[in-house]
Amino acid sequence: MQGIRIIALFAVGPLSLGADCIQIRVVDPQGLPVTAATASIGQSTAKANAAGIAELCEEGALSGPVRVQAQGFATAVEHLAVGESPQVVELRIRLHVETPVVVTGTVRPTELADLDRSLRVISASETVAPAWSFAELLKQDSSIHMRERGPDGTQADLSIRGSTFDQVLVMINGVRVSDSQTGHHTLDLPLPFEAVQQVEVLAGAGATLYGSDAVGGTVNFVTKKPESKELRLMSGIGEHGWNRLAAFGGFRRGIWSQSLAGSRDFSTGFAEGRNFRNVSLSSESFFDTSVGTTSVLVAYNDRPFGANGFYGPWNSWEDTGTKFLSATQTIGRNVDRLNHRFNFAFRRHNDNFILCKQGCVFGGVHFRPEDNQNLHQTNVFQGSYTVAGVAGTKVRWSGGAQVVSDGIDSTVAGQRRRERASIFAMLDLRPTERLTLSAGVREEAWDKWRVRTNPTFSAGYWIGGGLKIRALASSAFRIPTYTDLYHRDPGNVGNSSLVPEAVWNYEAGADWFLPFGTKVSAAWFQRRENNSIDWVKDEGSAVFQARNTQKINFTGAEFEVRHTFRNAMQVWGNYTALQASQSLPVGGVSRYVFNFPSNQGNVGLQGAAGPLLFKTRLGAYNRASQTARALWDVSIGRSGGSWRPFIQATNVLDAQHEAFQGLAQPGRWIRGGVQIDVFRPN
């Protein structure tokens, strides 16, 4: 870790006996002077000159600690020892930027500034007008493209840096919850919005740590852990028959912390066949002892919705539901010692899909609703063990093993099961105070013990002045879903001959942590895919078929600037540009791979303005199937008090836009309600 050394060059008499001047020299760990550092003792303050020297003087005796502040370093505080002769004081402190602690992209909790790759933390508990959709949070990141078939994330395909929805791994507290039937259920989370503390978005491959599916990126939803008694209620109504009821409660008593959350969202639909009802419930228990922490999460949801036009020109209907259990035990509470983590999880997902709710005609044949009703149930069991330790001051290591068994019982795909087993190891080095290096590898076996090796390499270097440069190379792969392999209906046909996708990700970037709460980030990235899986329709054909595409390179750049004011008001802007190395032949139609935005950007503002809480985001994007669209969302609520009314308007400009070609999304939508804090957390 970076540091500052403070050397007292000389003192005129011992401090305790009335010395009125002291001279110090401020240097970094390499012995280079830190210019413009601010030093103070008592009431005396001075700036370090080009040589890093600052002189502090007072009329009376100097007393108290010497305090030194410098851009890009934490504040250094040292009590100088009493002595008759000049003193030399060495103080080493780590480079510290106030960034959130994250668990994605590493085995042990780590500050965001210490990661050598692109990771974004989005708080779900910001003091702003209430939100109720995970999709709403994720839209703040320009590298994420939400292809929402249904509003409020009822069914939303999640794309990161142009990936398909199947190439994004979703986790809850580091436990994978992606669906093996299809990535369309990626955001079918069995969690009320109120149960989540923050969302961590890791861009680029994460297969070394998490295994198959972490190709375009990884999204980890971190739940809240109550620290005191709290109870929050929320109710809202709005256009299109929308209404919502939600509650979150929690308490802490001794070693036991408990949270309970529930929500119900309902809408008659902004268009025919686009109604929805979402019900989610969760309970999480934590037991903290001197050994470690035991946590048990039980969650459930049910989501019936109208799916008119989702997968073709039919008035479809779908009902999905999830049951999730996760039990975790950690051993070790000191991050600088050996730490263990054991986890067992079970996920059951049900999907009842009717292609033609009132019947339909296809190819001259009349189909009844029951003729194309698909019933799917997936069951996933998983167990994992990770261990992390240190070897001296410059080496950290981690490793682990994971077993995943998933199966499907489907009227279309039949009864099938597959197992995966993997081991991984990571090594984090800090050869110097400025340089960090990481390397890791994962061996994953599946399907009669076919093996895939996924290495990763990264490096970061603190140049100084809060500026860090970084680079990454990582490998990933994705096993075809059951839908890719076996699905069949009048307009879509799977392909049992598909082979896994193979990917290499490359990234180079810089993060600049400026004083007074400003951060600037920029990155170039490339994803090189072999055997990409897409659903393609040829010219003259009415049927989409799953196919492997030989090679596609996705190249892009992203930029973000974010500033946090002293009153916690935040303003930000981000932009992502992306292009593919090839396109489909003339006449061919890609359903997923080539549906990414070429340009996407956001500007936003949120925080308190007098008695009001204010949040707004203006996002714009364009893609091959649709010219540029701008979507503007605004939320206003009361600041402070136990009763906080709010109003929200999405798509204020009433822009006409589509998630997929021909699938319209809502226009302007106004909703409002009240949030009540019965008990506030201490």
In tens, the pLDDT along 346-372 reads: 999 999 999 888 877 776 778 787 778
The answer to whether residue 10 scores a pLDDT higher than 50 is no
DSSP structure string for 415-482? EEEEEEEEEEEEEEE-SSSSEEEEEEEEEEEETTTEEEEEEEEEEEEEEETTEEEEEEEEEEEEPPPH
**pLDDT higher for 16 or 605?**
605
Specify the domain boundaries for CATH 2.60.40.10 within the chain: 5-78
For residues 272-277, average pLDDT: 93
165, 478, 531, 545, 579 from 552: Cα distances, Å: 16, 15, 9, 18, 10
CA gap 541, 106 in Å, rounded:
46
CB 284 within 8 A of CB 258: yes
**pLDDT higher for 301 or 356?**
301
Estimate to the nearest angstrom the gap between the alpha carbon of 205 and the chain centroid: 13
**pLDDT higher for 434 or 81?**
434
CATH class of 118-123+218-679: mainly beta
CB 546 within 8 A of CB 517: no
Q: Is 113 helix (H, G, I), strand (E, B) or coil?
A: helix
pLDDT at 347: 97
pLDDT at 14: 40
The answer to whether residue 392 scores a pLDDT higher than 50 is yes
Which segment, 13-22, 32-41, 84-93, is predicted with the most confidence on average?
32-41
Query: Position of tokens 């839209």?
Result: 139
Locate 474 and state its tokens: 């990582």
Q: What is the amino acid identity at position 33? A: P
pLDDT in tens, 570-622: 899 999 999 999 876 666 788 888 889 999 999 999 888 888 888 999 999 99
For residues 192-198, average pLDDT: 92
The answer to whether residue 33 scores a pLDDT higher than 90 is no
For residues 338-348, average pLDDT: 96
CA gap 399, 422 in Å, rounded:
11
Sign of CA dihedral 585, 588, 593, 594: positive
pLDDT at 105: 65
Instruction: List the single range of 80-94, 149-163, 460-474 with lowest mean pLDDT.
Output: 80-94
Q: Which residues on adjacent β-strands are paired with residue 526?
A: 506, 555
CA gap 676, 232 in Å, rounded:
6
pLDDT in tens, 492-532: 899 999 999 999 999 999 999 887 788 999 999 999 999 99
pLDDT at 662: 81
Specify the domain boundaries for CATH 2.170.130.10 within the chain: 105-117+124-217
Exposure b/e, 335-356, CB count within 10 A at least 16 = b: eeeebebbbebebbbbbbbbbb
Sign of CA dihedral 171, 495, 418, 532: negative
The answer to whether residue 275 scores a pLDDT higher than 90 is yes
CA gap 20, 57 in Å, rounded:
5
pLDDT at 358: 81
Q: 129 pLDDT band (50/70/90 cuts)? A: low
pLDDT at 231: 95
CA gap 33, 36 in Å, rounded:
10
Q: What is the amino acid identity at position 299? A: A
Which segment, 93-102, 263-272, 464-473, 577-586, is predicted with the most confidence on average?
263-272
pLDDT at 100: 66
pLDDT at 60: 65
Topology of the domain comprising 5-78:
Immunoglobulin-like (2.60.40)
CA gap 339, 293 in Å, rounded:
11
CB 234 within 8 A of CB 151: no
CB 53 within 8 A of CB 74: no
Work out the mean pLDDT of the chain and round it to a whole number.
86
The answer to whether residue 119 scores a pLDDT higher than 80 is yes
Q: Is 17 helix (H, G, I), strand (E, B) or coil?
A: helix
The answer to whether residue 471 scores a pLDDT higher than 60 is yes
Name the DSSP class of 33: B
pLDDT at 115: 82
Sign of CA dihedral 55, 59, 60, 63: negative
For residues 15-23, average pLDDT: 56
pLDDT at 400: 95
For residues 213-242, average pLDDT: 94
For residues 539-568, average pLDDT: 88
Q: Does domain 105-117+124-217 have CATH number 3.30.70.920?
A: no
pLDDT at 80: 60
pLDDT in tens, 201-213: 999 988 898 988 8
- The percentage of the chain sitting over the pLDDT mark of 90, rounded to a whole number, equals 54
pLDDT at 29: 62
Indicate the pairing of strand 168-172 with strand 175-176: antiparallel
Specify the domain boundaries for CATH 2.40.170.20 within the chain: 118-123+218-679
Conformational region of residue 30, where left means phi above 0, alpha means psi within -120 to 50, and beta covers everything else: alpha
